[in-house]
Amino acid sequence: MLTAEQYLNPVVAARVRRLDLRAKFIVEGFLAGLHDSPYRGFSLEFSEHRRYAPGDDPADLDWTVWARTDRLFVRTFQAETNLAAYLVVDTSRSMAWAGRPDAMTKGEYATALAAALSLLLARQGDAVGLALVGEGLGRMLRPRGGRRQLVRILAELAGREGAGRTDLAAGLHALARRVKRRSLMLLVSDLLDEPEGVLAAMAHLAHRGHDLVVFQVLDAAERDLDAAGPVVLEDPETGAAVETDADAIRGAYRRRLEALVAQYERGVRGLRGDFVSVTTSTPFDVALRRFLRERKRRM
């Protein structure tokens, strides 16, 4: 019998067709892995001091208090209350691509990750909303708490297949105009779009006071170009195709993609946001832990 932890493997998780069960398995496996970890929650704010004890994370030591009292104290944290969060999920056609028949598509991985995030936030008591972006801003659910809202979000995400061309900038600009309340924006996308325009739209969100978290989801095959010899490369959104030799272009291709990822990472962090890049073979707990590590780094 499979354990919850095994569902953190995308290949195993893909066998579960019901998104609510998939999210539950991912979250249970993730929380089980957090036992005795230094992470104390998703959205953390300072709560109080307590005396240092062996085993506490040295990163939580308050050196100002030590300088004043010559005693070691650690800062403890508690979950923020009344957090409003939007799951912003890319539904463009490029997200429907997978490099192998047995692999999750980028859209399936993004959906499972978004479902797990929504469940984690809902368990914490936060208000969670949804915004689908592709050619622009599509379906949108305002943040609410409670199980019924979680069911609505999962229903919107379930069975969602990538369609249409990518215009993330238009979708994010529209979202920035519509959302007045300061919120946590969790974008899940392959980010295969013109970066200057997308980063300008992210800046629009940041300047409106929103906290930005970006998960870039790529397929390992498109990241590494692991094909060999003559290949036909096809744009999944336009259908445009080009014949080339994978071995001849692999080095230049990887450098271009690495430069694109680095540009997004610099841009997001320049907006005081968090950036996590994963592939569809990355275990879900690794993706979530990277996010928590980013959040902890900025506190």
For residue 190, name the pLDDT band (cuts at 50, 70, 90).
very high
pLDDT at 76: 55
Do residues 166 and 195 touch, judged by C-beta distance below 8 A? no
Band (21; pLDDT cuts 50, 70, 90): confident
Q: Which helix (H) or strand (E) holds 51?
A: strand 44-51
Tokens representing 15 are 């066998």
CA–CA separation, 275 and 186 (whole Å): 10
Has residue 44 got a pLDDT over 50?
A: no
More confident residue, 6 or 187: 187
CATH 3.40.50.410 assigned to domain 4-35+82-297? The reply is: yes
| Residue boundaries of the structural domains of the chain | 4-35+82-297, 44-79
Report field, pTM of the whole predicted structure over 0.75: yes
Return the closest-CA partner of residue 206 out of 234, 228, 173, 166.
173
Tell me the per-residue pLDDT of 70-129, one tens digit each, with 9 for 90 and over. 677 666 544 444 578 999 999 988 888 787 877 889 999 999 999 999 998 888 888 999
Q: How many CB atoms lie within 10 A of CB 43?
A: 17
Residue 46 pLDDT? 41
Percent of the chain residues topping a pLDDT of 90: 39
- Greater confidence (190 vs 57) lies with 190
Q: How many CB atoms lie within 10 A of CB 18?
A: 10
- Mean pLDDT rounded to a whole number for the chain: 81
**pLDDT for 141-181, tens place per residue?**
999 988 899 999 999 988 676 666 778 999 999 999 999 99
101 compared with 193, residue with greater pLDDT:
193
Is residue 1 scored above 70 in pLDDT?
Answer: no
Residue 222 pLDDT = 84
Q: Residue 263: how many CB atoms within 10 A of its CB? A: 15
Its sign, for the CA torsion 129, 202, 124, 28, is positive
d(CA 90, CA 19): 17
> What was the pLDDT predicted at 38?
44
Which of 3-17, 40-54, 82-96 is modeled with the greatest confidence? Answer: 82-96
Alpha-carbon distance 287 to 31, whole Å? 13
Q: What integer is the mean pLDDT of 33-42?
A: 50
Tokens 């080009």 belong to 242
Report which of residues 21 and 243 the model is more confident about: 21
SS3 assignment, position 244: strand
- Report how far residue 24's alpha carbon sits from residue 99's, in angstroms, rounded to the nearest whole number: 26
Q: What does the pLDDT average to over 21-33?
A: 85
Is residue 61 over pLDDT 80?
no
- pLDDT for the residue numbered 147: 86
3 state DSSP class of 142? strand
Side-chain half-sphere CA neighbours of 176 within 13 A = 22
Beta carbons of 181 and 191 less than 8 angstroms apart: no
User: How far is residue 298's CA from residue 277's CA, in Å, rounded to a whole number?
Assistant: 17
∠ CA(200), CA(129), CA(83), 5° rounding? Answer: 85
Range from 35-39, 174-178, 200-204 carrying the lowest mean pLDDT: 35-39
- DSSP-assigned states of every residue in 168-228: HHHHHHHHHHH--S--EEEEEE---S-HHHHHHHHHHHHHTT-EEEEEEEE-HHHHHT---
**pLDDT given for residue 266 in this prediction:** 96
The per-residue pLDDT for 120 is 87
